[in-house]
Structure 1
C-alpha cells in the first residue's frame, strides 16, 4: 500500500518502493528499528523507547512513556540512518528477486563469464547474479581463466558465508544431458529419450538413448549428420570422449552395448545380486576393460549392474601373463632370426670385399731371395750335418763300386 505523497520524503519513499518492488510499511518499520539501534548506541540502552516516524514528512520523535526524549540534532542522525536502511533494503530486495528468478533455473544450463578466481573457488558472472563454482563442481583437467565464456549447470541455491549463493557446475552429468537437449531437436521434442548417463568429467562419458517412434534412430539423431551434433557437445566439454548407446530392455544386450567398443561378448546375468559375468575374446578383453578399468566402470554405472569380466583364456591377469609369455617367445625367435641375418650380412660383406692378388716377384727380388736362402743354408747347423751325411753316403758308394 503506497503512502499518500505530501512531502519529498513520502514521494521518494513511494518511488523507491515502487521501482524495487518493496512494501512501504516494511521499509518504514526497518527504518524505525535502525533509528532505535542508533539511539541506543549513542545514548545508552533505556527500555521502552518508542520511535515515531511521520511517513508524510519524515520527521522522527523518540518517547518513553508520555515523555519525549528526542535528543537535539537527532533528526540528522535519523535521516542518515533512514538512507542506509533504504539502501540496504533495496539490495536485499534485489538479491531476493534475483534468487527467486534463479531458483526457477535450478536444473537448467546457463551461459556465464568467469569473473574472478579466488583460490580454488571460481565466480561466474551469470548476468544479473553471480554463480559460485567450488572445486567439486569443476573439471580437473579443464583450464579456467578470467573472462572465459562457458556453459554451466545450475545445481541449486544454498546459504553461504555472504548469504545465499547460486552453485553452478561443470562436472555434473546433468550438464552433458542438458547440452544434448540443446543440440538435438528430437530430444527437446521428446521423440528421443535420454535414459541414463554415466560420466567421468573431463575424460569419458556414456549416454543411453531410446525412441519408441518408428523410423527414428536415437543414436543417429544424437550423432547428427557427419557427427556435427555430438561434436558440438564434445567441443563444449573440452574434447571429452562420448559413447552414445542404444538403450535396451534386455539387460544382457544392454550390458554388451555398454561395454562397446568391445565385441563378441558373452554375458550371464544374476538378477538377485544385480551382477553380470562377462566373457570376452582375449583380443577384446583390454577394450572391454578400458584404460585403468574406465570402460567397464562406466558400463557398470550406466546399467546399474556389477560387472565381472574375464577373457576366454582366464582372468585379465592370466591373459596378460599368457600374452607376455607369447611376446617373450616371439622376441626370442626374432632374436635368433636377427642373429642369423647378421651372420649372413657379415658373410655377404666379406664376399663383396675385393681380394688382394699377389704380385709376381721381379728378377731382382728373386735373386735376392735365392741369395738369402743360400746364406741361410750355409750358416744353418742343420744344413752342415745334412751335407756331411750326404758326403759319407757318397764315399761309401764309391768304395763299393771299386770292389766290384
Structure 2
C-alpha cells in the first residue's frame, strides 16, 4: 500500500473516527500513525536509519525524512544515522558537531507485513491513550459512590462496568453473602484507583465505612450542605453500624435529620446495605460523654478515662453487661472503633470488688508502715491518702481534718512516714550501688533512690546509659501490632513518670553530656513557633 493522494485524506478521517470511538485526542492517533509509518520505512530502508514521518494535519500528506547527526570522528557508531564533519561537508555548509541534516526520502510501499505491523503500533498507542484517559477520569473520583452494571463474576470477585472502564469488587469487599448476576445494577464506593501495567485498576467496595457515610450524604441534604458533619463511622458490614454526627446549626437536630420523617432517610441507607442496623449517635468533644452515647442502647454508670494509654474504663449495671458488650462483642467493638479508644467494661459488682481490694491493700500498707490500728488506717484511706509519700509531705492541715487527729498525732504520723521513707531510700540506694550505678547517674536531678534501683536492675548504670534511652523505654507506652494495641512496660512507669517528663530528663542528660547544644533546641522551637504562626495566618 503506497501513501498516495487518493488515500491521504483517509488517514485524517480514520484518525478522527478512532479518536471519536475511543474518546481520546485525535492528535494521539495521528502521532501513532506517524510512528507506524516510520517503522515501516525503516524496515524498507534499514532499521539503523533515523527516519521520521510527519502527516500534514490539513491535507493528510505523509512526508518521509531521513535524519543524520554530525558527531566527532571517534564517536561515530551508527553510519546510517550519524556522520563526521568531513562527511557532512558534502551536504552542509560549515557543519558543526551536533548539527542535524535532514533529507526527504521516497514514500514506501507498505506490504501486508508492514501494514500489519503499522496496525499493531496504532492499536498499542490507542490502548495506552485510552488507559491514560481512564486513569485521569477515575483518579479524582476515589472516595465517591458510583453506579455500575455487573458484567461477570470471577472466583468470587465481581467485575463491574462503570461506564468508561471496569471496576473490580473483591470477595472481601462484598456485604455478607451478596451474589450478583450479569446485568444487575450495583452501587459501590470507589476505594482506590491505581495505574498498573495492564491498565488502570478501579477497586470498589461495599464494606468500607465511608460507603455508608457517602450514602448518608446522598440521602441527607444537610450533610451535603455541610450543616451536619459525619465525625466517625464504624461498621460490621451487613450486620450493624454506628455513625457519629454533629450539627453546626443549633436549630437542627443531627440525629433527627439523619433519621428523617418516619425513618425514611436512614431506611434508604439500610435497604442499600442489605438490612444493616444503624445506630446514629450525637458526637461530643468530651470523650467519656461520647463513649456513653456510643455504647447505646446500654446504660453506663461510670466512666474513667486514661488519656495517655488511650484506654477507657466503663462501669455498667450488672443487668446491662450483655447489652453493653453485644452479641459476640459487637456493640463494644463498634464503640471502640468509633471513639478510637480501647474499652474495658466492668459491672458495678466487679468495680465494687476491685475498690474493696484496693481499700484493703492501702489499709494494710498504712497499718504496716505507720504502726497504726486498722480503724485509723481505714480513716486515712477514706480521706483519699494512697501512698506513704502523701502522708509524709502533705500539708498538716489535711491530716487535721481526720476525726481524732490533733497536732501531735499529725506530726507523729508524718515523722513515722518520713522515717520509713528514709529507710526505704537508704536500702534502695545501697542496692543500686551494689548493682553498679555510678555517681554520674546518682547526682542527676529528678531520680529517686527507688528509680536508680530500677534503672540499675535494667542495666542503666551511668549518665551515658541514661542519655541513650528512648522516652518510651522509661515511661512506657503502647505499640500497635497486627491491629492490636500492645503494652510496652517502662523502667520508671511504676513511679508515674509521664512521657513528657521522660523526654525532658533524657534531653537534660544529653545536654549535660554535651551531646546536644541548648542553642540548637531554642532555634528549633522558634522555627516550630514560626511555622505554627504562619499556618494560623494562612487559615
Q: Which moved more, 1:127-136 or 1:82-91?
A: 82-91
Paired residue for 1:380?
none
Paired residue for 1:311? 347
Whether 1:12 and 2:1 are equivalent positions in the alignment is no
* Cα contact 2:40–2:118 (8 A) shared by 1: no
Of 122, 143, 158, the residue aligned with 1:86 is 122
1:202 maps to 2:206: no
Deviation at 1:139, TM superposition (A): 2.5
Task: State which structure, 1 or 2, has the greater radius of gyration over its C-alpha atoms.
Answer: 1
The alignment status of 1:142 with 2:170, answered yes or no, reads: no
2:319 match:
283
Q: So what's the TM-score if we normalise by structure 2?
A: 0.52
Report matched runs for 1:5-404 at 5 Å: 7-12=8-13, 15-16=16-17, 19=20, 20-22=23-25, 24=27, 26-35=28-37, 46-52=47-53, 55=56, 56-58=60-62, 64=80, 73-74=109-110, 76-160=112-196, 162-314=198-350
Q: CA RMSD in A?
A: 3.4
Q: Distance in 2 between matches of 1:157 and 1:30?
A: 27
**How far apart in 1 are the matches of 2:324 and 2:212?**
23
Structure-2 change in CA distance of 1:18 and 1:135 (3 Å): closer
* Offset of residue 306 of structure 1: 1.0
How many angstroms apart in 2 are the aligned matches of 1:116 and 1:211? 42
Cα contact 1:10–1:58 (8 A) shared by 2 = no
Q: 1:297 to 1:176 in 2, by over 3 A?
A: same
Structure 2: where are the runs of 5+ without partners? 1-5, 68-79, 82-101, 352-539
By how many angstroms is 1:180 displaced? 0.4
Structure-2 change in CA distance of 1:44 and 1:296 (3 Å): farther
Query: Residues 22 and 79 of structure 1: is their aligned pair in 2 closer, same or farther, counting only changes over 3 Å?
Result: farther
Change (3 A) 1:36 1:175: same
Residues 75-102 of structure 1, C-alpha deviation per residue, up to 9 Å, x if partnerless?
Answer: 5544444444334433433333233222
- 3-state SS, counterpart of residue 171 of structure 1: coil
Aligned length: 311
Offset of 1:47 from its aligned partner? 2.4
Q: With CA pairs under 8 Å and 6+ residues apart, which has the higher RCO, 1 or 2?
A: 1
Q: Residue deviations 1:199-257, cap 9 Å, x none?
A: 12122110001113122111111111111111110000001111110111222111111
TM-score (norm 1): 0.67
